Amino acid sequence: MKKTSPSLDWCIVRCDNESKWWVDSISDAENWDIEDLGIIDPKQFIYINELLDSMTEFGLQSQLVDEAFFTFEISEEVAGKKVKLERVRDSLLKAEDMLFALPDVLDEEKGPYADFLSHVTHVRVAMLNDLIDFTEPYTIEEMEEVLSEKQNNDFLEGRRSHFSDELVSILEFVPDGFQIDSDLDDEKDEDKDGEEDYSDLDSQLVEVSDKEEKLLPNEDLKWEDDEDREEITSYEGGAPDEN
């Protein structure tokens, strides 16, 4: 199935108590199994994209990002404290509006998302070998073994695997006993008294469209009464509030 298929037009999503979004129903039910099907929200993707940026100099191919995901924007709130998302065909990396990202897992072994995961795994290992002085070069097999064990433990403990967790575990991976300086930490300046300066964080705020301002809740994604709802200028993620 091609990504341009008109049958994938919308999905309805819900948020759990851990601020993770899951697909509740989808227009293309014939091709998608929605059981435990997660979707990456805008806030999660902003963080993922920051991690990807730190890997660019080590050979990351950014075009693989857009190929790996279907993109959606908020359409409306629906009954049951859920949100309807409409399909758009904007680039995740270049879009002006904040988008939800659904990994293309129609072919889990050879599809675009599988290729993307393989690529970022290779790049992460190359990055580790460049930044850490290992006695022997660290291998992809060693990394995959550690991540596989973690996934198995999560499964045995009854924790559902979410795409955001899967990606972050790769993009942040560091072998036990080693550490590297985060590119994000390098961006923090220290003032004359030796204290960290966080004044540049305001520049990271993301403006949303008029449509999103009406639909996006507060920092915990809690839906408030219309008469009490304040104007929202950035997406903060979270779950609808139980009344």
DSSP string, 79-126: TTTEEEEEEE---TTT-SS--EEEE--SSTTTSHHHHHHHHHHHHHHH
Does any domain span residue 233?
no
SS3 assignment, position 236: coil
Say how far apart CA 233 and CA 182 lie, in whole Å.
28
- What pLDDT, on the 0 to 100 scale, is given for residue 96? 76
How far are the Cα atoms of 135, 141, 144, 231 from residue 223, in angstroms, in the given order? 53, 45, 40, 13
Does any domain span residue 234?
no
pLDDT tens per residue, the chain (243 residues)? 344 444 899 999 999 998 999 999 999 999 999 999 999 999 999 999 999 999 999 999 988 999 999 999 999 999 888 999 999 988 888 877 789 999 999 988 889 999 999 999 999 999 999 999 999 999 999 999 999 998 888 777 767 789 999 999 999 999 998 888 654 344 444 443 444 454 444 444 344 445 455 555 445 444 444 444 444 444 455 555 544
* Domain enclosing residue 154, as ranges: 10-184
Strand 189-190 with 38-39, pairing: unpaired
- What pLDDT, on the 0 to 100 scale, is given for residue 190? 43
Does any domain span residue 1?
no
- Say what the pTM is: 0.71
Angle between helices 112-131 and 163-171 (to 10 degrees): 30
Q: How many domains does the chain have?
A: 1
Does any domain span residue 239?
no
197's CB contacts (< 8 A; 6+ apart) are 188, 189, 190, 191
48's CB contacts (< 8 A; 6+ apart) are 40, 164, 167, 168, 171
- What pLDDT, on the 0 to 100 scale, is given for residue 215? 53
- Beta-bridge mates of residue 69: 103
Does any domain span residue 180?
yes
Does any domain span residue 44?
yes
- What pLDDT, on the 0 to 100 scale, is given for residue 198? 42
Does any domain span residue 106?
yes
- What pLDDT, on the 0 to 100 scale, is given for residue 95? 77
